[in-house]
Structure 1
Amino acid sequence: MIRRHELDALPVRSALPALQEALEGAGTAVLCAPPGTGKTTLVPLALAGLTADGAPVRKVLVAEPRRIAARAAARRMAWLLGERVGERVGFTVRGERAVGARTVVEVVTTGVLLQRLQRDQELPGVDIVVLDECHERHLDADTAAAFLLDVREALRPELRLVAASATTDAEGWSRLLGDAPVVAAQGVSHPVETLWAPPERPVRPAHGMRVDPALLSHVASVVRRALREREGDVLCFLPGVGEIARVAGQLADLGAAGVEVLQVHGRAPAAVQDAVLAGAGDRRRVVLATSVAESSLTVPGVRVVVDCGLAREPRMDHARGLSALTTVRASQAAARQRAGRAGREAPGAVYRCWSEGEDGRLPRFPSPEIKVADLTAFALQAACWGDPDASGLALLDAPPGGAMAAARDVLTAVGAVDAAGRATERGVRMARLGLHPRLARALLDGAAQVGARRAAEVVALLSEEPPREYGDDLADAWRTARRGRDAYAGRWRQESRRLASALSGAAVATAATDAVGAGAPRDEAPSASPGSRGSSSPAPAASAPGENDDVAAGIVAALAFPERVARKRGAGAYVMASGTGAEVGDGSRLRSAEWLAVAVADRPVTAASARVRLAAVVDEETARWAAGALYAEAEEVGWADGDVVARSVARLGAVELVSRPLRDADPALVREALVDGLRREGLGLLRWSDGARSLRERMAFLHGELGAPWADVTDEALLARRDEWLEPELSRARRRADLARIDAGQALSRLLPWASGESARFDELAPERIEVPSGSRIRVDYGGDQPVLAVKLQEMFGLRESPRVAGGRVPVLVHLLSPAGRPAAVTADLASFWQDGYRAVRAELRGRYPKHPWPEDPAAAEPTRHTTARMRRG
């Protein structure tokens, strides 16, 4: 029996006529309805004609972003109809299906919807598609919307499409759907009081998957405070499963006080999920949930929300080839959604674990996945759809070019697309497995090496990362899952069976024949070209009955992540073929392995190396086979450890396998290595005599004062013009010692303006020495900002003006020295010094040096290098 009282109480009912009218007219609509108004449950039933007697029955497909939401929505709709799931309302998620012959409303995940569209673009029998929670901007939902718009335009204009959002930011979706009408439903909103509850002491910002334990302890204390200060159930938002488990542990003693602590997330057992969504019993509840409870699920009985202020979003580090969830600050939109859960049934309160001042600095909306996530699966979907670069797809945000290029490289390497980016038959088969393309490749090629069942079991482990307590050794985690009785082990078995059944005999038999790079048997030389295709014979180490789990796990992991095969380079330290460093935790069995296939790793913001979360032990043969496309042999000549190093090197990506000294290196490579050495260590590697240094300083002076044709002789400029002045000496050099024998002064003189004849004026414009009145030729120092002439004061008697250089443009800075050679005065204007400064110097020095002449009129006196007595004898 239909529960009409509950249906009539749902606020979205008032928006149904406008929604029906929009679909009859435009064929598309955007429905904005706050959480809890019934947009996920009443709207599909009404569109299907199940809530009104005599209404035409239509087949409605509802797409949810999460499995837990899809199951919950189907159960709620079936309950409203007074039926069991699988009758007129059913659901299909990966690995689970409850649909019958009478089903007219089917709830699916967006991933399942994409699979159906790829198999049959027309969606035969479906009249209306509802994309729920589209405001969350999940990549699968954006992709499904783009495909459905293509279907409406080219194949089925009568197909109706509804984009349902829990926020009012619907303008973008309206434009995307061809200026679709926006239908808004008002929710029953009770007032929610905001209480700011920041930690008393600063906590470390979250990075990667790490959240400061101090923040989690604070959240637990805020939950206790909420229980004391407010009535009703408490819904606490946390970023992930690990944080939920930690806070649950800190709240375990609440059971003795009659409070039930429940955990809601995608990995929670179905029975727990059902208990949370069924409503409160006699006991008060604390529900610890991920963002799945923001809008996808309604938890009855909640009067208080505790918000930690964090969320998990996918991120792709393209430079290191690492893709993972990362912890970020929740957006303002998410915070509003979370707070609204406290006012669904009565006035409530939200405790926000951050300050009011911080609130204004939060991002307005969560980042669209297409902007930040790994796009490999999206690129394969687009290629299979016939639009490899996704340029023709109607998307709210275009995919970043760099991310698409990186994704296409991966798809090419695993044989999913051809050189033009079009999907191959193998790529289509991979897309239909419902896996990331890397895992699809590992399943297809791994089945040919270790058997379908083993490959399916390992890939199932890789498709949903095992709990942290399973450890970081993939083979050990596999053994733990086999004997496990926890919720994860149950899901793993179900997924393993699904994948094994998906591996048809034809797919396994032909998988290796169209593999790329790793399709060859493991005993075949890995130096074949990346595009070579090997035979389908199984790997020697993987063919024996009762094969070791470690070997099978390593083969499958290496096939999934060939650029992450890693070789040991120190205690617990590895380098992956991608060039990224990796570190294994203390106490891990993996630390003793020479080679690893890294399946899961993350890199803290401040760390140079990634942390290994899950990996398998492999041998070098497996690594070279799986990453065969990365194998290369080359002559490497470079500057290292202060000299030219020439080697013949075999590499697996960035991992060095073998190196041998190279005796007859390419002279051009040697020359570039020497230039690199000069660039790194400077031109001081050449032989610089005093004369050479003086020559360079004089040339630099003229360049600075006169410009062309006098050459710039800075290191950068000289290296740029090395062919003009350092040849042929550089071409004859082979090592550092040869550079030290090159006369820098002789080489540098080649840059003097010989062709114009200006070089003849070099000594005139920048004389190395200047003859002073005493007859001495004194060296000029051009190393400073101004040329300096350091000369004894008595030798300058009789000279009325300071010497000038650069054709008379620049006065020389004269350092006048005492008879003992110590500085007595500095002047660039000798005439002024004789008139004003000399008297003070004379008064100070004549008593100290009485044997030297100190005339009253130095400008008219006779210059001398000698004492007064010697002058008289002379």
Structure 2
Amino acid sequence: MNGPDLPIRHVLPELLGTLDRHRATVLTAPPGTGKTTVVPLALAETGMRVLVAEPRRLAVRAAARRMGASYTIRGERHTGANPMVEVVTTGVLLQRLQRDQELAGVDAVMLDECHERHLDADTALAFLLDVRDTLRPDLRLLATSATADAGPWSRLLGGPVVAATGSTHPVETVWAPPPRPVTPPHGLRVDPALLSHVAATVRVALAERDGDVLCFLPGVGEIAKVAGLLAGAGVDVLHVHGQAPARVQDAVLSPGTARRVVLATSVAESSLTVPGVRVVVDSGLAREPRTDHARGLGSLTTVRVSKASANQRAGRAGREAPGAVYRCWPAADHERLADHARPEIVLADLTGFALQAACWGTPDASGLALLDPPPAAAMSAAARVLEALGAVEGRRVTGRGRRMALAGVHPRLARALLDLGPRAAEVVALLSEQPPREAGDDLVELWRTARRGGTPYAARWRQETARLRRTSTGGETMAVTGGSDDALAGTAVALAFPERVARRSGDGYLMASGTRAELPEGSRLATAPWLAIAVADRPTGSASARVRQAVVIDEATARLAHPVTTEDEVAWVVPPGERRGDVSARRVERLGAIELSSAPLKDADVRAAIRYGLRTEDVLTWTKPARELRDRLAFCHRAIGPPWPSMDALVGLTDQWLEPELSRARRRADLERIDVASALRRLIPWSERLERAAPERIEVPSGSHIRVDYSGEQPVLAVKLQELFGRQETPEISGVPVLVHLLSPAGRPVAVTADLASFWRDGYRSVRAELRGRYPKHPWPEDPLTAPPTRRVKGSAS
């Protein structure tokens, strides 16, 4: 095999021998050692037909071009000069496995860059291991990784590790943090100050170093902003990302005639060699998926790169010669980075994965050989979506589900394609391709722009539309109200995302899922009564979703896409913004969480709602007699215990004391009119007398009958001091001493005691000295125990 003496060639004999003996192996090799192109050609020279799976379309084209091989990506196939090697995306490999599990005509499969842990790659490897163990024991499997941590892969494949150390060129690390602190990334937002610093660092690197500069940024938007800041730098500025047109990708992968700055996302981390690069400038940021399984919303968020990713990026500077990496963060922060990025299977929406697993015969994925199991919550959410789409019934995939899996798009989009037929292909293509950064929130306007053509996005859209038309055979199966583009787009989006059908509510929208949604300020869709929301995310910390793309629909389309239910609703309801609830008895028609209509229900059983109101609100009218009776009953329970009931359990005892009133109550006003005192008397045990256990009044020596206060822990008797002359014993009620509040002639407390004898002996003298001059008309005898009790002044008739 001719070609440059790349480091990988030194381990080829060991690699080929290991594959021949074990049928599986893991190859670790640093970036730039030639593993992506040299190894497949070496296998082909032994007579094997080789299928190479790459995680990205960009890498597929580049590898196929270097090997003269054929390649297949979604919607595009190219036949190369070498018939023994074909390069595909991992997504295409999954589709092929579902159609032909034996992979007829393939002798070896190479999964490149498996360390990146893309979900399709993990799934494809699990399927391949199953095929090898059941159908094709002769199939050779090779997983390649640019990192040295290959132990888990080796155990999974059941084959040894072959390591190609290679001679990588030294890369100098230059720590280049911003001069002032920048705001950490939040959602998709990156502090403009950091992007300005990255652009300034690129200019420094151009001045200090030779060669081209490769600059890593988290997304397309940041690439555009930094490109703008580099205007006038005197270099060619190229953009590398998943949406870049093929001609741009080809230009990046070919030597340039002028000095270049290549602004790239993570797609350029490992599987591509950009010729001429001697310097890497790393922003230290990447994008990861996030999924809100409860609300069915997905989004991307900006995160710090892992140490492994940072090392991959740095290695790009040393592929062809010694180089340097400028890291735009402090050296002290580097040690706090995660060792590895989290695998996509623990972060992403797993609906597509769950459908692939169901078609493979293991709906819960428990039978698949995976490095990381899928999270249970994500799989449960995926199963609910697939059942709603008709892709699975119970735990079995349906024929409809199999057709969805072969469509090559998310199952939600496949549902719209199957239900609406080829006519919907243009809309589904819009939804399956990431729109241009400048696209607004009006999906129909984006459709019209794509039809006009003239952009790389429009070209990709046309290509995907053609593929989807071929996929959606059988014609339309569902009628669309109206023949306009708006009607078709609205129906397609509503069918794909029925829980995101939304009706205007206040200054925003309420989705069928129950989540509120808000349009961008100034949106042309803001006056629409109904929307079908195609793309939405929920910013961190926000209760509302943010609409990214939507279509105006009518209620008829909403009803077509989402089941409408009618149910009788009898509940205790507190209106928004109010604190008092009442019984609501209605027949309600709903589309998910959206209330379409309601009508009052007559003769409804409202007892459960009434009881809920009693439990949750202070509805009853507690008059003074009612409160006093409740306090007496509570005292009896504390002092005596059973059979006296606890007043803390009143709500649970409603059947015993409120049943006649509750059986007649229909609304809050009926509860408020209940005579609570009379109802409470039903709780007095039949074998007991309340007047004996907790008398309402106590007779004192003066002959007065004084009311007892039971509202505290201990009964209180408030009585004028002169009315107790001659009494030494403290009154007791049910064995509990009464707390006596001794009052002045004006009714003000002058002493509190639970021991009258002690008061007469020790406290009376000082009270007498203080008050006898203030109240001379009232008796203040020296010996209160022998004085006659009285409630009158001195000299008045008895």
CA 1:729 to 1:126, structure 2 compared with 1: closer, same or farther past 3 Å?
A: same
Given candidates 784, 792, 808, the residue that maps to 2:720 is: 792
Distance in 2 between residues matched to 1:750 and 1:63, nearest whole Å = 80
* Secondary structure at the counterpart of residue 189 of structure 2: coil
1:502-521 counterparts in 2 under 5 A? 502-504=471-473, 507-508=474-475, 512=477
CA 1:813 to 1:426, structure 2 compared with 1: closer, same or farther past 3 Å?
A: same
1:386-465 counterparts in 2 under 5 A? 386-418=361-393, 420-447=394-421, 452=422, 454-465=423-434
Given candidates 446, 467, 481, the residue that maps to 1:498 is: 467
Asked if structure 2 preserves the Cα contact closer than 8 Å seen for 1:199 and 1:215, the reply is: no
Deviation at 1:441, TM superposition (A): 1.1
Asked if structure 2 preserves the Cα contact closer than 8 Å seen for 1:416 and 1:427, the reply is: yes
CA 1:861 to 1:634, structure 2 compared with 1: closer, same or farther past 3 Å?
A: same
Aligned to 1:330: 305
- Bigger shift: residues 226-235 or 636-645: 226-235
Asked if structure 2 preserves the Cα contact closer than 8 Å seen for 1:22 and 1:28, the reply is: yes
Distance in 2 between residues matched to 1:104 and 1:704, nearest whole Å = 91
Distance in 2 between residues matched to 1:311 and 1:796, nearest whole Å = 86
Task: Report the RMSD for the aligned CA atoms in angstroms.
Answer: 2.8
CA 1:424 to 1:748, structure 2 compared with 1: closer, same or farther past 3 Å?
A: same
Distance in 2 between residues matched to 1:205 and 1:822, nearest whole Å = 68
Aligned to 1:262: 238
Given candidates 49, 58, 61, the residue that maps to 1:68 is: 58
* Secondary structure at the counterpart of residue 295 of structure 1: coil
CA 1:551 to 1:790, structure 2 compared with 1: closer, same or farther past 3 Å?
A: same
Distance in 1 between residues matched to 2:600 and 2:36, nearest whole Å = 69
Aligned to 2:491: 555
CA 1:688 to 1:97, structure 2 compared with 1: closer, same or farther past 3 Å?
A: same
Asked if structure 2 preserves the Cα contact closer than 8 Å seen for 1:244 and 1:263, the reply is: yes
Asked if structure 1 preserves the Cα contact closer than 8 Å seen for 2:420 and 2:475, the reply is: no
Aligned to 2:38: 42
CA 1:840 to 1:405, structure 2 compared with 1: closer, same or farther past 3 Å?
A: same
Aligned length: 791
Distance in 1 between residues matched to 2:202 and 2:660, nearest whole Å = 78
Distance in 2 between residues matched to 1:158 and 1:212, nearest whole Å = 53
Distance in 1 between residues matched to 2:699 and 2:170, nearest whole Å = 98
Deviation at 1:475, TM superposition (A): 0.9
Asked if structure 2 preserves the Cα contact closer than 8 Å seen for 1:382 and 1:388, the reply is: yes
* 1:65-88 C-alpha deviation (Å, 9 max, x unpaired): 111122122223x2xxxxxx3xxx
CA 1:847 to 1:206, structure 2 compared with 1: closer, same or farther past 3 Å?
A: same
Distance in 1 between residues matched to 2:42 and 2:519, nearest whole Å = 55
Instruction: Give, as a single letter, the amino acid of the residue that structure 2 aligns with 1:662.
Output: L
Aligned to 1:586: 521
Given candidates 244, 251, 257, the residue that maps to 2:223 is: 244
* Secondary structure at the counterpart of residue 566 of structure 1: strand
Deviation at 1:706, TM superposition (A): 6.2
How does the TM-score come out when normalised to structure 1? 0.84
Aligned to 2:750: 824
Asked if structure 2 preserves the Cα contact closer than 8 Å seen for 1:190 and 1:344, the reply is: no
CA 1:651 to 1:846, structure 2 compared with 1: closer, same or farther past 3 Å?
A: same
* Secondary structure at the counterpart of residue 650 of structure 2: helix
Instruction: Give, as a single letter, the amino acid of the residue that structure 2 aligns with 1:508.
Output: G
Aligned to 1:165: 145
Asked if structure 1 preserves the Cα contact closer than 8 Å seen for 2:64 and 2:87, the reply is: yes
Given candidates 115, 130, 134, the residue that maps to 1:135 is: 115
Instruction: Give, as a single letter, the amino acid of the residue that structure 2 aligns with 1:484.
Output: G
CA 1:624 to 1:25, structure 2 compared with 1: closer, same or farther past 3 Å?
A: same
Aligned to 1:692: 626
- Bigger shift: residues 427-436 or 191-200: 191-200
Distance in 2 between residues matched to 1:329 and 1:748, nearest whole Å = 65
CA 1:841 to 1:616, structure 2 compared with 1: closer, same or farther past 3 Å?
A: same
Q: Does 1:471 align with 2:410?
A: no
* Secondary structure at the counterpart of residue 200 of structure 1: coil
1:323-402 counterparts in 2 under 5 A? 323-346=298-321, 348-356=323-331, 358-402=333-377
How does the TM-score come out when normalised to structure 2? 0.92
Asked if structure 1 preserves the Cα contact closer than 8 Å seen for 2:173 and 2:327, the reply is: no
Deviation at 1:144, TM superposition (A): 0.8
* Secondary structure at the counterpart of residue 685 of structure 1: coil
Distance in 2 between residues matched to 1:244 and 1:660, nearest whole Å = 56
CA 1:303 to 1:835, structure 2 compared with 1: closer, same or farther past 3 Å?
A: farther
Aligned to 2:29: 33
Distance in 2 between residues matched to 1:396 and 1:371, nearest whole Å = 11
Asked if structure 2 preserves the Cα contact closer than 8 Å seen for 1:220 and 1:247, the reply is: yes
Distance in 2 between residues matched to 1:385 and 1:174, nearest whole Å = 24
1:764-775 counterparts in 2 under 5 A? 764-775=692-703
Deviation at 1:191, TM superposition (A): 4.3
Q: Does 1:848 align with 2:774?
A: yes
* Secondary structure at the counterpart of residue 747 of structure 2: coil
Deviation at 1:734, TM superposition (A): 0.8
Aligned to 2:578: none
Distance in 2 between residues matched to 1:701 and 1:301, nearest whole Å = 91
Aligned to 1:290: 265
Deviation at 1:459, TM superposition (A): 0.6
Asked if structure 1 preserves the Cα contact closer than 8 Å seen for 2:44 and 2:84, the reply is: yes
Asked if structure 2 preserves the Cα contact closer than 8 Å seen for 1:765 and 1:807, the reply is: no
Q: Does 1:656 align with 2:559?
A: no
* Secondary structure at the counterpart of residue 292 of structure 1: helix
Deviation at 1:462, TM superposition (A): 0.5
Asked if structure 2 preserves the Cα contact closer than 8 Å seen for 1:48 and 1:105, the reply is: yes
Instruction: Give, as a single letter, the amino acid of the residue that structure 2 aligns with 1:474.
Output: L
Distance in 2 between residues matched to 1:101 and 1:29, nearest whole Å = 28
Distance in 1 between residues matched to 2:758 and 2:312, nearest whole Å = 82
* Secondary structure at the counterpart of residue 103 of structure 1: strand
Aligned to 1:9: 6
% same residue: 66
CA 1:824 to 1:224, structure 2 compared with 1: closer, same or farther past 3 Å?
A: farther
Aligned to 1:732: 664
Q: Does 1:235 align with 2:214?
A: yes
CA 1:27 to 1:686, structure 2 compared with 1: closer, same or farther past 3 Å?
A: same
Distance in 1 between residues matched to 2:770 and 2:221, nearest whole Å = 83
Asked if structure 2 preserves the Cα contact closer than 8 Å seen for 1:63 and 1:132, the reply is: yes
User: Which runs of 5 or more structure 2 residues have no equivalent in the other structure?
Assistant: 576-580
Deviation at 1:269, TM superposition (A): 1.7
CA 1:101 to 1:353, structure 2 compared with 1: closer, same or farther past 3 Å?
A: closer
CA 1:272 to 1:861, structure 2 compared with 1: closer, same or farther past 3 Å?
A: farther
Deviation at 1:488, TM superposition (A): 0.9
Deviation at 1:735, TM superposition (A): 0.8
Distance in 2 between residues matched to 1:806 and 1:232, nearest whole Å = 99
Asked if structure 2 preserves the Cα contact closer than 8 Å seen for 1:442 and 1:556, the reply is: yes
- Bigger shift: residues 342-351 or 233-242: 342-351
Deviation at 1:377, TM superposition (A): 0.8
* 1:516-547 C-alpha deviation (Å, 9 max, x unpaired): xxxxx5xxxxxxxxxxxxxxxx33523xxxxx
Distance in 2 between residues matched to 1:569 and 1:602, nearest whole Å = 19
Aligned to 1:275: 251
Deviation at 1:381, TM superposition (A): 0.7
Instruction: Give, as a single letter, the amino acid of the residue that structure 1 aligns with 2:244.
Output: A
* 1:486-530 C-alpha deviation (Å, 9 max, x unpaired): 2111111111111112223xx336xx3xxxxxxxx5xxxxxxxxx
Given candidates 71, 93, 96, the residue that maps to 1:116 is: 96
* Secondary structure at the counterpart of residue 94 of structure 2: helix
CA 1:293 to 1:814, structure 2 compared with 1: closer, same or farther past 3 Å?
A: farther
CA 1:831 to 1:294, structure 2 compared with 1: closer, same or farther past 3 Å?
A: farther
CA 1:803 to 1:425, structure 2 compared with 1: closer, same or farther past 3 Å?
A: same
Q: Does 1:645 align with 2:573?
A: no
Q: Does 1:633 align with 2:630?
A: no
* 1:280-315 C-alpha deviation (Å, 9 max, x unpaired): 5432x3322211122232334444433333322222
Deviation at 1:111, TM superposition (A): 0.5
Asked if structure 2 preserves the Cα contact closer than 8 Å seen for 1:198 and 1:352, the reply is: no
Instruction: Give, as a single letter, the amino acid of the residue that structure 2 aligns with 1:291.
Output: S
Aligned to 2:609: 673
Deviation at 1:485, TM superposition (A): 1.3
* Secondary structure at the counterpart of residue 257 of structure 1: coil
Asked if structure 1 preserves the Cα contact closer than 8 Å seen for 2:19 and 2:140, the reply is: yes
